[in-house]
Amino acid sequence: MLFPIIVMVLSGIAGSYAHSGEKIVCYSLSHAVQLDGKWTTAEEWIDAAEVSTAAVCIRVKHDEARMYVLIDHVADPQIDRSPSINEGDLCWIYADPNHDGGEKLQPDDYGFGARWAAQTLTLMMAKGAGGNWTMMAPISGFEARSSSDQSTNPKTTSPHVSYELSIPKYIIANPTVGARFSVRDGAKGVFRQWPIQSRPIEPDTWADLEFSALPIGEFSMSQLPLIALICLSVTTFFLKIPPRRSSARPGRPMGETS
Ligand SMILES: [Ca+2]
Ligand SMILES: [Ca+2]
Ligand SMILES: [Ca+2]
Protein backbone atom coordinates (compact mmCIF):
# COMPACT_ATOMS: atom_id res chain seq x y z
CA MET A 1 0.00 0.00 0.00
CA LEU A 2 2.86 2.32 0.87
CA PHE A 3 4.61 2.08 -2.51
CA PRO A 4 1.57 3.10 -4.67
CA ILE A 5 0.84 6.01 -2.33
CA ILE A 6 4.40 7.36 -2.59
CA VAL A 7 4.47 6.92 -6.36
CA MET A 8 1.16 8.75 -6.62
CA VAL A 9 2.42 11.59 -4.40
CA LEU A 10 5.74 11.95 -6.23
CA SER A 11 3.88 12.00 -9.55
CA GLY A 12 1.83 14.86 -8.19
CA ILE A 13 4.98 16.82 -7.34
CA ALA A 14 6.47 16.27 -10.78
CA GLY A 15 3.34 17.40 -12.59
CA SER A 16 2.71 16.83 -16.27
CA TYR A 17 5.13 18.49 -18.63
CA ALA A 18 4.18 20.03 -21.89
CA HIS A 19 6.28 19.99 -25.06
CA SER A 20 9.32 17.70 -25.15
CA GLY A 21 8.86 16.35 -21.63
CA GLU A 22 12.22 17.82 -20.54
CA LYS A 23 12.29 20.25 -17.65
CA ILE A 24 14.70 22.48 -15.74
CA VAL A 25 13.89 24.44 -12.59
CA CYS A 26 15.25 27.98 -12.34
CA TYR A 27 15.84 28.52 -8.60
CA SER A 28 16.23 31.81 -6.77
CA LEU A 29 19.93 32.53 -6.44
CA SER A 30 21.94 32.53 -3.23
CA HIS A 31 25.24 33.55 -4.86
CA ALA A 32 25.36 36.67 -7.03
CA VAL A 33 26.61 36.26 -10.60
CA GLN A 34 29.68 38.14 -11.78
CA LEU A 35 29.08 38.28 -15.50
CA ASP A 36 32.48 37.35 -16.95
CA GLY A 37 31.55 34.30 -19.02
CA LYS A 38 32.84 31.63 -16.63
CA TRP A 39 32.80 30.19 -13.09
CA THR A 40 34.34 33.26 -11.38
CA THR A 41 34.63 31.26 -8.15
CA ALA A 42 33.99 27.62 -7.31
CA GLU A 43 30.79 28.66 -5.48
CA GLU A 44 29.30 31.00 -8.07
CA TRP A 45 26.96 28.47 -9.73
CA ILE A 46 26.55 25.74 -7.10
CA ASP A 47 23.09 27.14 -6.23
CA ALA A 48 21.71 26.43 -9.72
CA ALA A 49 20.03 23.39 -11.24
CA GLU A 50 21.94 21.77 -14.11
CA VAL A 51 21.01 19.89 -17.25
CA SER A 52 23.74 18.42 -19.40
CA THR A 53 24.73 16.28 -22.33
CA ALA A 54 28.15 14.76 -22.95
CA ALA A 55 29.20 18.01 -24.64
CA VAL A 56 27.33 20.83 -22.87
CA CYS A 57 26.42 21.71 -19.26
CA ILE A 58 23.72 24.34 -18.64
CA ARG A 59 22.82 26.02 -15.35
CA VAL A 60 20.06 28.58 -14.71
CA LYS A 61 19.00 30.70 -11.74
CA HIS A 62 17.31 34.06 -11.14
CA ASP A 63 16.80 37.03 -8.86
CA GLU A 64 13.97 39.57 -8.79
CA ALA A 65 14.89 41.21 -12.07
CA ARG A 66 16.96 38.79 -14.12
CA MET A 67 17.49 35.22 -15.23
CA TYR A 68 21.10 34.09 -15.40
CA VAL A 69 22.39 31.28 -17.60
CA LEU A 70 25.75 29.51 -17.62
CA ILE A 71 26.61 27.38 -20.64
CA ASP A 72 29.75 25.26 -20.37
CA HIS A 73 30.53 24.03 -23.90
CA VAL A 74 32.94 21.41 -22.59
CA ALA A 75 33.41 19.80 -26.02
CA ASP A 76 34.64 23.07 -27.58
CA PRO A 77 38.31 23.56 -26.60
CA GLN A 78 38.92 27.00 -28.12
CA ILE A 79 37.25 30.23 -29.16
CA ASP A 80 36.67 30.57 -32.91
CA ARG A 81 35.94 34.09 -34.13
CA SER A 82 34.33 35.09 -37.40
CA PRO A 83 32.91 38.25 -38.98
CA SER A 84 30.10 36.08 -40.39
CA ILE A 85 27.09 35.01 -38.35
CA ASN A 86 27.26 31.69 -40.20
CA GLU A 87 30.67 30.82 -38.76
CA GLY A 88 32.47 31.09 -35.44
CA ASP A 89 31.39 30.10 -31.93
CA LEU A 90 28.02 31.15 -30.59
CA CYS A 91 25.24 30.30 -28.18
CA TRP A 92 21.46 30.79 -28.28
CA ILE A 93 18.78 30.63 -25.62
CA TYR A 94 15.28 30.39 -27.03
CA ALA A 95 12.28 31.27 -24.89
CA ASP A 96 8.54 30.79 -25.35
CA PRO A 97 7.21 33.16 -22.65
CA ASN A 98 3.53 32.39 -23.25
CA HIS A 99 4.38 28.69 -23.05
CA ASP A 100 1.94 27.95 -25.84
CA GLY A 101 4.37 25.83 -27.87
CA GLY A 102 3.33 25.14 -31.42
CA GLU A 103 4.81 23.57 -34.51
CA LYS A 104 5.86 27.04 -35.69
CA LEU A 105 7.40 30.10 -34.04
CA GLN A 106 5.02 32.80 -32.89
CA PRO A 107 5.51 36.52 -32.12
CA ASP A 108 5.94 35.86 -28.38
CA ASP A 109 9.00 33.64 -28.98
CA TYR A 110 12.45 35.16 -28.51
CA GLY A 111 16.05 34.15 -29.07
CA PHE A 112 18.89 35.55 -26.94
CA GLY A 113 22.33 34.92 -28.39
CA ALA A 114 26.01 35.80 -28.30
CA ARG A 115 28.62 35.10 -30.96
CA TRP A 116 32.34 35.53 -31.28
CA ALA A 117 32.68 38.11 -34.05
CA ALA A 118 36.03 39.22 -35.46
CA GLN A 119 36.97 41.35 -32.47
CA THR A 120 34.49 40.97 -29.64
CA LEU A 121 31.56 38.98 -28.37
CA THR A 122 28.44 40.33 -30.10
CA LEU A 123 24.94 40.22 -28.66
CA MET A 124 22.12 38.91 -30.84
CA MET A 125 18.35 38.83 -30.46
CA ALA A 126 15.69 37.28 -32.64
CA LYS A 127 11.91 37.19 -32.62
CA GLY A 128 9.42 34.74 -34.04
CA ALA A 129 7.75 36.05 -37.20
CA GLY A 130 5.99 34.14 -39.96
CA GLY A 131 7.16 30.81 -38.56
CA ASN A 132 10.84 31.73 -38.63
CA TRP A 133 13.33 33.87 -36.74
CA THR A 134 13.78 37.56 -37.53
CA MET A 135 16.79 39.37 -36.08
CA MET A 136 16.05 42.38 -33.88
CA ALA A 137 18.06 44.84 -31.81
CA PRO A 138 18.97 43.44 -28.38
CA ILE A 139 16.71 44.80 -25.66
CA SER A 140 18.09 47.03 -22.94
CA GLY A 141 19.47 45.03 -20.04
CA PHE A 142 20.34 41.87 -21.99
CA GLU A 143 24.02 41.08 -21.45
CA ALA A 144 26.43 38.22 -22.21
CA ARG A 145 30.08 37.35 -21.73
CA SER A 146 32.22 34.42 -22.85
CA SER A 147 35.56 32.94 -21.83
CA SER A 148 37.85 29.96 -22.38
CA ASP A 149 39.57 30.34 -18.99
CA GLN A 150 38.34 27.50 -16.79
CA SER A 151 40.99 27.75 -14.06
CA THR A 152 38.30 28.35 -11.40
CA ASN A 153 35.77 25.89 -12.79
CA PRO A 154 35.10 23.32 -10.02
CA LYS A 155 33.92 20.66 -12.47
CA THR A 156 36.74 20.66 -15.02
CA THR A 157 39.68 22.98 -15.57
CA SER A 158 40.39 21.78 -19.10
CA PRO A 159 40.07 24.78 -21.44
CA HIS A 160 36.72 25.13 -23.17
CA VAL A 161 34.35 27.88 -24.27
CA SER A 162 31.74 28.98 -21.74
CA TYR A 163 29.07 31.68 -21.74
CA GLU A 164 27.17 33.63 -19.10
CA LEU A 165 23.99 35.47 -20.06
CA SER A 166 21.78 37.84 -18.09
CA ILE A 167 18.23 38.25 -19.41
CA PRO A 168 15.69 40.75 -17.99
CA LYS A 169 12.74 38.80 -16.62
CA TYR A 170 10.10 41.24 -17.79
CA ILE A 171 10.33 39.73 -21.28
CA ILE A 172 9.84 36.16 -19.98
CA ALA A 173 7.44 36.95 -17.15
CA ASN A 174 5.55 33.70 -16.53
CA PRO A 175 5.96 30.98 -13.88
CA THR A 176 6.82 28.41 -16.56
CA VAL A 177 8.12 29.17 -20.05
CA GLY A 178 9.34 27.08 -22.96
CA ALA A 179 13.13 27.02 -23.37
CA ARG A 180 15.85 25.69 -25.65
CA PHE A 181 19.64 26.09 -25.41
CA SER A 182 22.15 25.64 -28.22
CA VAL A 183 25.83 26.25 -28.94
CA ARG A 184 27.96 26.07 -32.04
CA ASP A 185 31.63 25.16 -32.29
CA GLY A 186 32.77 27.22 -35.27
CA ALA A 187 35.86 25.07 -35.92
CA LYS A 188 33.73 21.99 -36.54
CA GLY A 189 30.60 23.79 -37.73
CA VAL A 190 28.44 21.71 -35.40
CA PHE A 191 25.49 22.74 -33.23
CA ARG A 192 24.76 21.07 -29.91
CA GLN A 193 21.50 21.65 -28.09
CA TRP A 194 19.29 20.79 -25.14
CA PRO A 195 16.81 19.18 -25.30
CA ILE A 196 18.88 16.96 -27.57
CA GLN A 197 16.02 16.23 -30.02
CA SER A 198 14.73 19.82 -30.08
CA ARG A 199 14.49 21.99 -33.17
CA PRO A 200 15.07 25.77 -33.24
CA ILE A 201 11.87 26.74 -35.06
CA GLU A 202 9.50 24.28 -33.38
CA PRO A 203 8.58 25.33 -29.80
CA ASP A 204 6.71 22.06 -29.27
CA THR A 205 10.12 20.35 -29.04
CA TRP A 206 11.52 22.68 -26.37
CA ALA A 207 11.77 22.10 -22.61
CA ASP A 208 9.83 23.57 -19.71
CA LEU A 209 11.73 26.12 -17.65
CA GLU A 210 9.98 26.56 -14.31
CA PHE A 211 10.81 29.51 -12.04
CA SER A 212 11.00 28.76 -8.31
CA ALA A 213 10.75 31.54 -5.72
CA LEU A 214 12.98 29.48 -3.43
CA PRO A 215 16.69 28.67 -3.43
CA ILE A 216 17.64 25.19 -4.55
CA GLY A 217 17.06 22.49 -1.94
CA GLU A 218 14.13 24.14 -0.16
CA PHE A 219 10.51 23.02 -0.36
CA SER A 220 7.70 25.35 -1.34
CA MET A 221 4.63 25.75 0.91
CA SER A 222 2.46 24.18 -1.79
CA GLN A 223 4.45 20.93 -1.46
CA LEU A 224 4.06 20.68 2.33
CA PRO A 225 0.71 18.76 2.26
CA LEU A 226 2.28 16.20 -0.07
CA ILE A 227 5.35 15.86 2.12
CA ALA A 228 3.10 15.45 5.16
CA LEU A 229 1.19 12.69 3.33
CA ILE A 230 4.45 10.85 2.60
CA CYS A 231 5.47 11.09 6.27
CA LEU A 232 2.01 9.85 7.36
CA SER A 233 2.21 6.89 4.95
CA VAL A 234 5.66 5.89 6.21
CA THR A 235 4.53 6.20 9.86
CA THR A 236 1.39 4.12 9.20
CA PHE A 237 3.47 1.43 7.48
CA PHE A 238 5.85 1.01 10.40
CA LEU A 239 3.06 1.09 12.99
CA LYS A 240 1.54 -1.95 11.25
CA ILE A 241 4.73 -4.01 11.64
CA PRO A 242 4.26 -6.24 14.77
CA PRO A 243 6.95 -5.65 17.41
CA ARG A 244 9.62 -8.33 17.75
CA ARG A 245 9.59 -10.42 20.88
CA SER A 246 12.38 -9.51 23.18
CA SER A 247 14.89 -12.31 23.89
CA ALA A 248 15.72 -10.76 27.23
CA ARG A 249 14.52 -12.74 30.21
CA PRO A 250 11.94 -11.31 32.64
CA GLY A 251 13.52 -9.30 35.40
CA ARG A 252 16.78 -8.81 33.51
CA PRO A 253 17.69 -5.31 32.20
CA MET A 254 17.21 -4.92 28.40
CA GLY A 255 20.35 -5.70 26.42
CA GLU A 256 21.87 -7.74 29.22
CA THR A 257 22.43 -11.44 28.39
CA SER A 258 24.18 -14.35 30.06
CA1 LIG B 1 30.95 34.39 -13.63
CA1 LIG C 1 4.91 31.03 -27.98
CA1 LIG D 1 35.27 26.78 -30.88
Residue range 139-187, pLDDT digits in tens: 999 999 999 999 999 999 999 999 999 999 999 989 999 999 999 999 9
Asked if pLDDT for residue 93 goes beyond 80, the answer is yes
CA distance 226 to 5: 11
150 C-alpha to ligand 1 centroid (Å): 11
Closest listed ligand to the CA of 180: 2
What are the distances in angstroms from CA 206 to CA 101, 148, 193, 194, 247? 8, 28, 10, 8, 61
187 C-alpha to ligand 3 centroid (Å): 5
Question: For position 97, what pLDDT does the model report?
Answer: 96
What's the CATH number of domain 25-211, 3.40.462.20, 2.60.40.1190, 3.50.50.60, 3.30.300.20?
2.60.40.1190
Q: Quick one: what percent of the chain has pLDDT higher than 70?
A: 77
Q: How far is CA 112 from the centre of its chain?
A: 16
Task: Enter the pTM of the model.
Answer: 0.80
Closest listed ligand to the CA of 81: 3
Beta strands 23-28; 207-211: pairing state? parallel
* Choice among 10-24, 66-80, 116-130, 171-185 with the minimum mean pLDDT: 10-24
Check: CB of residue 73 under 8 Å from CB of residue 199: no
43 C-alpha to ligand 3 centroid (Å): 26
Cα-Cα end-to-end distance for the chain = 41
pLDDT: which is higher, 200 or 242: 200
Per-residue pLDDT band at 206 (split at 50, 70, 90): very high
Question: For position 219, what pLDDT does the model report?
Answer: 53
Nearest partner of 150 among 34, 53, 41, 54, judged by Cα: 41
Nearest partner of 112 among 72, 132, 88, 139, judged by Cα: 139
Asked if pLDDT for residue 6 goes beyond 50, the answer is no
Mean pLDDT across the chain? 85
